[in-house]
């Protein structure tokens, strides 16, 4: 019998499924200190947790431990690197909480539109303030959904019966997939300008932190609503504070830098605040428990690893190629342009990388979608791409081209029903250094994908590089490295400049206008 410890008030379905299997002894002890529990049961095979912190010491105290299951999506409370070092698989249950969060978004929007909280308090106090609590209806409104993953799509589905217009922004989701959900894909500034309600469903990372800033908030209609049930750090609170004072934007919030009691920094600007209740439903708890138990059985009995989030790099593959695949794809997506909706991915893996094509698709996919977990396996990645409406082709490679141990990533996107766009990037690893060898038709670049880059393509002519350098210098931005080749026909050029600090988006736009750039972007690698 394999011993499973559940040190949390997880729905009993997990214990029932494992017990019915016949191969597990389940110990469920909520409200007990985890360190004390593992000291009493050092022979556990698996640990199923919710928000409990699983440290290296906890892992070391269980020499027979093989699996840790997080009954939920986030696993930042688990030391996954130490677990991997000890040969322990860590799994999560993605999607278990999605419907709960989507329904919370609808509840918050309706509660605010009809003043449910304030009216209840007033009525209980004996008042009768019908005029004060005049509300608004959802019917006929335009709602913008930022991020069209599991939760964003469910929000769209739940809103479908309210007779609203749905706008969406997601650099990954195809226009066809969005259309299936009744969503019109638009650029982010347009979404903020047109929407009566904007709801956020994006992860917090280096690219999205502070993304909802003054430039976007200034676009919002007076009295519009902003809903955040995603992550606290994606909003620039000071910018929201300023714009709210000017435009009376209503802010509905369920997320904070830390989940704990105490004063919240957004208390002065939030019109409705909840204590991170998104996943707090009986149904979500049950679904997470059920998934945790069935995934543990699937791993033990059938070797199903699709939910393992700390998988090993395959033996024989330099981990640098995983990082390379991810960075090449990020550059390629920027090159494709923000207006292009992703339609297809094509990859080529040369030399000794061929056997690892399936494994390398995951870091490629993570380069396109910042919230995609790099530890997911090939099958899960293919399912994710299919869900997003994106086709995938791994091309047969010809090693006579002498692209030894190289990776090529091509992305195909649509600008509208008739126009396709393509971007292509190839790279390799030399003496441990990642190198970008080619971008589109600009070959032999051999530039390290590291730090801050600004990239411009334009019709070739003298003096353009000087214009770019002068504009950067005007903002005290120093150039650390540069490549400026022509294409094979000598008609266009690319300027890739590695700079010592980020460049403002407005500066990139100004330079692009001045040189009539075909493409222009900043990226941090």
Please write the tens of the pLDDT for every residue from 312-341.
777 788 888 988 999 999 999 999 988 888
Closest by alpha carbon to 103, among 162, 155, 165? 155
pLDDT at residue 475, as a whole number: 93
> Mean pLDDT across the stretch 266-285?
93
d(CA 501, CA 74): 31
Q: Are strands 183-185 and 452-459 parallel, antiparallel or unpaired?
A: unpaired
The model's pLDDT over 199-219, given as tens digits with 9 standing for 90+, comes to 999 888 777 889 999 999 999
- What pLDDT shows up at residue 402? 61
E runs forming strands in 29-156: 46-49, 67-70, 89-92, 142-146
Which segments of the chain belong to CATH 3.30.1330.90? Answer: 315-450
C-alpha–C-alpha distance, residues 272 and 476, integer Å: 42
410 sits in which H/E element: strand 406-414
Cα dist. 329→38, 211, 335, 405, 507 in Å?
43, 21, 10, 17, 24
Longest dimension (CA), the chain: 85
pLDDT higher than 80, residue 371:
no
519-524: strand order across its sheet: 479-483, 492-499, 452-459, 519-524
Which residues of the chain form CATH 3.30.70.260?
451-525
Whole-number mean pLDDT of the chain? 91
Contacts of residue 176, Cβ cutoff 8 Å, sequence gap at least 6: 389
CATH 3.30.70.20 fits domain 451-525: no
34 with 7: CB under 8 angstroms? yes
- For residue 126, pLDDT over 70 is answered with yes
Residue 118 has pLDDT above 80, yes or no: yes
Is 75 a residue whose pLDDT tops 90?
no
Residue whose C-alpha is closest to residue 424's, from 331, 307, 499 = 331
Give the end-to-end CA distance of the chain in Å, rounded to a whole number. Answer: 48
User: Looking at residue 400, what is its pLDDT?
Assistant: 67
Please count the CA atoms within 13 angstroms of the CA of 316 that sit on its side-chain side: 9
Domain 98-273 maps to which CATH number in 3.40.50.720, 3.40.1160.10, 3.90.226.10, 1.10.10.10?
3.40.50.720
Q: Please compute the mean of the pLDDT values over residues 507-522 and round it to a whole number.
A: 94
Contact present, 20 and 14 (Cβ < 8 Å)? no
Please, where in the chain does CATH 3.40.50.720 lie?
2-96+282-302, 98-273
Q: How far apart are CA 308 and CA 509, in angstroms?
A: 42
State which H helix or E strand residue 329 sits in.
Answer: helix 320-336
φ, ψ for residue 56, nearest 5 deg = -60, -35
**Does residue 143 contact residue 197 with C-beta atoms inside 8 Å?**
yes
Q: What digits encode the pLDDT tens for the residues 398-409?
A: 766 666 789 999
Distance, in Å, from the CA atom of 329 to the CA atom of 275, rounded to the nearest integer, reads 37
User: Nearest-CA neighbor of 434 among 373, 367, 379, 490?
Assistant: 367
Kindly report the backbone phi and psi dihedral angles of residue 439, in degrees, each rounded to the nearest multiple of 5, phi listed first: -125, 115
189 versus 397: the higher-pLDDT residue is 189
Instruction: Print the SS3 string covering 460-521.
Output: CCCCHHHHHHHHHHCCCCCEEEEECCECCCCCEEEEEEEECCCCCHHHHHHHHHHHCCCEEE
Over residues 415-449, the pLDDT tens digits come to 877 788 999 999 999 888 899 999 999 999 999 99
Distances (CA, A) of 398 to 350, 383, 404: 8, 28, 10
In terms of Cβ atoms closer than 10 Å to its own Cβ (0-12, 13-18, 19+), residue 113 is middle
Just give the CATH number of 2-96+282-302: 3.40.50.720
**In this predicted structure, what is the pLDDT of residue 393?**
94
What are φ and ψ of residue 522, in 5° steps?
-115, 140
Q: Average of pLDDT values for 447-464? A: 93
Q: From 3.40.50.2020, 3.10.20.30, 1.10.10.10, 3.30.1330.90, which CATH number describes the 315-450 domain?
A: 3.30.1330.90
Q: Of 268-277, 304-313, 314-323, where does mean pLDDT reach its minimum?
A: 304-313
* pLDDT given at position 317: 85
């Amino acid at each position: 019998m394999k011993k499973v410890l559940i040190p949390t008030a997880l729905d009993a379905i997990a214990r029932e499924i494992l017990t019915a299997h016949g191969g597990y002894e389940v110990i469920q002890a909520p409200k007990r200190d985890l360190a004390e529990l593992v000291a009493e049961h050092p022979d556990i095979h698996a640990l199923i947790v919710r928000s409990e912190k699983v440290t290296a010491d906890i892992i070391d105290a269980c020499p027979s431990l093989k699996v840790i299951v997080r009954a939920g999506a986030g696993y930042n409370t688990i030391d996954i690197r130490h677990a991997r070092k000890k040969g322990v698989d860590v799994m999560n249950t993605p999607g278990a909480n999605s419907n709960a969060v989507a329904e919370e978004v609808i509840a918050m929007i309706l509660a605010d539109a009809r003043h449910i909280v304030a009216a209840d308090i007033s009525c209980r106090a004996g008042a009768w303030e019908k005029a004060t609590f005049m509300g608004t209806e959802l019917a006929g409104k335009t709602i913008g959904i930022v991020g069209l993953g599991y939760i964003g799509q469910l929000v769209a589905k739940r809103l479908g019966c309210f007779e609203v217009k749905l706008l969406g922004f997601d650099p990954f989701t195809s226009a066809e997939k969005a259309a299936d959900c009744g969503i019109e894909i638009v650029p982010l500034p347009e979404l903020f300008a047109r929407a009566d309600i904007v709801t956020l469903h994006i992860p917090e990372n280096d690219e999205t932190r502070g993304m909802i800033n003054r430039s976007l908030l200034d676009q919002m209609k007076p009295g519009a609503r902003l809903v955040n049930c995603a992550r606290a750090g994606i909003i620039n609170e000071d910018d929201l504070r300023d714009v709210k004072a000017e435009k009376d934007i209503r802010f509905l919030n369920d997320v904070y830098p830390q989940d704990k009691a105490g004063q919240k920094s957004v208390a002065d600007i939030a019109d409705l605040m909840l204590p991170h209740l998104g996943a707090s439903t009986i149904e979500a708890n049950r679904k997470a428990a059920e998934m945790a138990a069935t995934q543990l059985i699937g791993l033990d009995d059938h070797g199903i690893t699709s939910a393992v989030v700390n998988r090993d790099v395959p033996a024989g593959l330099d981990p640098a190629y995983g990082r390379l695949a991810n960075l090449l794809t990020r550059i390629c997506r920027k090159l494709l342009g923000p207006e292009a909706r992703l339609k297809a991915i094509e990859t080529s893996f040369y030399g000794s990388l061929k056997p690892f094509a399936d494994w390398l698709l995951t870091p490629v996919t993570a380069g396109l979608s910042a919230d995609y977990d790099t530890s997911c396996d090939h099958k899960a990645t293919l399912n994710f791409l299919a869900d997003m409406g994106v086709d995938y082709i791994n091309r047969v490679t010809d090693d006579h081209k002498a692209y030894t141990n190289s990776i090529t990533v091509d992305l195909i996107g649509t600008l509208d029903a008739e126009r396709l766009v393509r971007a292509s990037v190839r790279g390799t690893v030399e003496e441990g250094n990642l190198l970008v060898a080619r971008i589109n038709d600009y070959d032999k670049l051999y530039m390290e994908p590291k730090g801050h880059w600004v990239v411009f393509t334009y019709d070739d002519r003298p003096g353009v590089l000087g214009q770019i350098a002068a504009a950067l210098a005007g903002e005290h931005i120093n150039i650390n490295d540069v490549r400026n080749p022509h294409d094979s026909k000598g008609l266009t050029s690319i300027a890739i400049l590695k700079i010592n600090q980020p460049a403002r988006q407005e500066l990139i736009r100004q330079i692009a206008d001045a040189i009539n750039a075909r493409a222009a972007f900043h990226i941090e690698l």
